[in-house]
Chains A and B, each alone.
Chain A
Amino acid sequence: MSGHSTYRPQSKFMQWLEKRLPIGGLVHSSFVAYPTPRNLNYWWTFGGILAFMLAVQIVTGIVLAMHYTPQADMAFNSVESIMRDVNYGWLIRYVHANGASMFFLAAYIHLFRGMYYGSYKEPREVLWILGVILLLLMIATGFMGYVLVWGQMSFWAATVITNLFSAIPGVGSTIVTWLWGGYAVGNPTLNRFFSLHYLLPFVIAGVVVLHIWALHVVGQNNPAGIEPKSDRDTVPFTPYATIKDTFMIVVFCIVFAWFVFYIPNYLLHPDNYIPANPAQTPPEIVPEWYYLPFYAILRSIPNKLLGVCALFASIVILAFLPWLDTSPVRSARYRPLYRQFFWLFVATAIGLGYLGSRPPEGVYVVISRILTVYYFAFFLIILPLLGIFEKTRPLPNSIADSVLGKA
């Protein structure tokens, strides 16, 4: 798909290197000559934003790890010492803590963009599944990072989430003891979470390489949802995509900086500024905002085991999207019914997020259940049937035609 490399090294050294390790040609074909559809809109810049955010998290995380103490009696105070005594420690820690939120924000936009334009459809199934794996890895990494602060919410979130595994019949409590490294969340738990929180970002980076590789094999989808047919339909990655991505990364950084410098504690729970206390349960245990929709699904089901199953199913079901959606048309632009159900799905996800932050009582539970039903019905009933019954609008002949208004 990326075609023949037109890379011709200029310097003697690069010519010498290219014969032995063609890395210059690889970079050139992937990030310079790589043809991208000319009609990509700004929603397509979130892949670049995510790569940037991963780099930010890894760099700030490595610096934080230089000052952090993964020991139950010292962890909270070591974070506070970073905030107070390390030069610009407050900045590094706030960038990392809010960076996690920004990372998830960008990931969710990226995911919804893929859903809206049908980017998961043949031949991009593997690319999509790698994305779902990345989401799962991000969820695990973010959760373990949150525990490292060792505040009240860290400790009790760790307790609640690890306890989910106790729902597994027979071996549940054995698994939980094994996860904890003891009979309660404690120092061994903190130590292993620290180790894994340092490891998983590099696993994410590895899967990102696969994700980009898969992308460059099949090429990018685009708002029209049709494959490029000729050179008229594409533009080279550099300068076109590079300048557009760079612009949007800077715009995203404006939002990011607003949170870091002006409202750094807006997304953090006040209870996490209280040191972890195993003897005192906080009045409410709420996960970070980016887990709230899944948390609402968990709590909407009265049976613990089924609730845990629904929680995992709500994420894993995404991996089956390429086969659940039976429509031959990719882009929601040409699918009038799908478009409505899609926006209803977005509203459902946001609604579940709000309900996840509310106590599980009264009318909240009722609405959570209705939204949970829609969440799964969207994948299991609506998408398979839409492919059969929906009357799609005619597709443009080519990307160039769609851009130039000749539909």
Chain B
Amino acid sequence: MKAKSTIRAVFVFGALAAGTAVAAAQEEPPTPPRLSWSFSGPFGKYDQAQLQRGFKVYREVCSTCHSLNLLAFRDLADPYGPGFSEAQAQQIASEYKIKDIDDKGQPIERPGRLADHFPPPFPNEAAAKATYGVAPPDMSTLAKARGYRRGFPWFIVDIFTQYQEEGPDYIAAYLQGYREPPKGFELPAGGHYNEYFPGHNTAMPPPLQDGQVAYDDGSPQTVQQYAKDIAAFLMWAAEPHLVARKRIGFQVLIYLIVLAGLLYFTKKRVWHAVEAPHESASGQAATKAGA
């Protein structure tokens, strides 16, 4: 009992101290709103139409500056991803120009093939840097490379609720987070004020405007919708095997839980002779006789 009260005192002390510390720490950007994603939770799947729209946004807007080096055109035909048909993916690939060399070793540009990776928008890092002062990051792993601090106690709750969508939530919020700088905020030249960006000074100008990308499935052509669709697309780009992972995970868990149950009752049966009170003279001696 006494030990318990000691521990409780420690935790209360710790919580108080942590609370004071949060107030003392630097001002952190606001928490991005938590959106609902088709790929969240134990049975999450990518929404094909959303990924196709997101890809359209990437292609018409982001790809001007951002590379997608780790993805190949064949990935677009992933049935658990954007789900383009092979012919569609081939068609998309052929619309890109790929640098190559011909039989005589002369540099050429040829139409892309399924096996080709997305070509980068800039020939090298220095050229990428020259545009806005910082090189626009590659987008292949971006949705897993971004996030925000969940803080206590949410980081513990997340284990049980399986919240893993900090990346897409942040990206969607960031793309809609451009504001006029508040009074007294000194924005360096060439910077843009973004509410969700750590430090608020981001190099990228607001990339999206309402009506900028034409959707042919009737989805609203708003910055809000674009931001969500590109965030979903980037999540798929960063984690293309998410659907298989969750599907297999469910099967594995069912298997393990059933196996654990069977083993538990086997264990009980085996230990019965030792743990039953009427066979108090058990232990090594009794089990030898029983075996």
Contact = CB atoms under 8 A, between A and B. Distances in A.
Given A247-B263, A262-B42, A265-B144, A239 B21 contact: no
Contacts, number: 153
9 contacts: A83-B241, A232-B283, A233-B283, A233-B284, A254-B257, A263-B164, A270-B147, A339-B3, A347-B7
B141 A273 contact: yes
Interface in A231-272: 231-236, 239-240, 243-244, 246-247, 250-251, 253-254, 257-258, 260-266, 270-271
A265 B145 CA distance: 10
Contact of B6 (A246, A258, A273, A343): A343
Given A244-B267, A275-B138, 7 more contacts: A81-B70, A91-B245, A235-B284, A261-B246, A274-B141, A274-B145, A362-B25
Interface string B121-142: 0000000000000000110111
B94 to A, nearest CB: 22
B2 A91 contact: no
Contact of B287 (A235, A247, A250, A262): A235
Contacts of A263: 158-159, 162, 164
A389 to B, nearest CB: 16
B249 interface: yes
Interface residues of B, number: 63
Interface string A68-102: 00000000010011011000001100100000000
B70 A344 contact: no
B253 interface: yes
A273 B249 contact: no
B141 A404 contact: no
Given A343-B6, A344-B6, A258 B164 contact: no
Contacts of B240: 84
A369 to B, nearest CB: 12
A258 B283 contact: no
Given A231-B285, A362-B25, A261 B248 contact: yes
Contacts of B152: 354
- Give the interface centre of B147, B162, B274, B283 by most chain A CB atoms within 10 Å: B283
Contacts of A260: 249
A270 B271 CA distance: 46
A340 interface: yes
Interface string B276-291: 0100111111011000
B24 interface: yes
Contacts of A299: none
Contact of A344 (B7, B158, B274): B7
A239 B228 CA distance: 56
A364 B18 CA distance: 8
Given A261-B246, A262-B246, A347-B10, A404 B280 contact: yes
Contacts of B198: 283
- Give the interface centre of A240, A250, A367 by most chain B CB atoms within 10 Å: A250
B245 A264 contact: yes
A174 B42 CA distance: 51
A182 interface: no
A270 B257 contact: no
Contacts of A262: 42, 162, 164, 246, 249
A266 B158 contact: yes
A166 B138 CA distance: 35
Contact of A270 (B75, B146, B158, B288): B146
B189 interface: no
Contact of A340 (B2, B145, B264, B285): B2
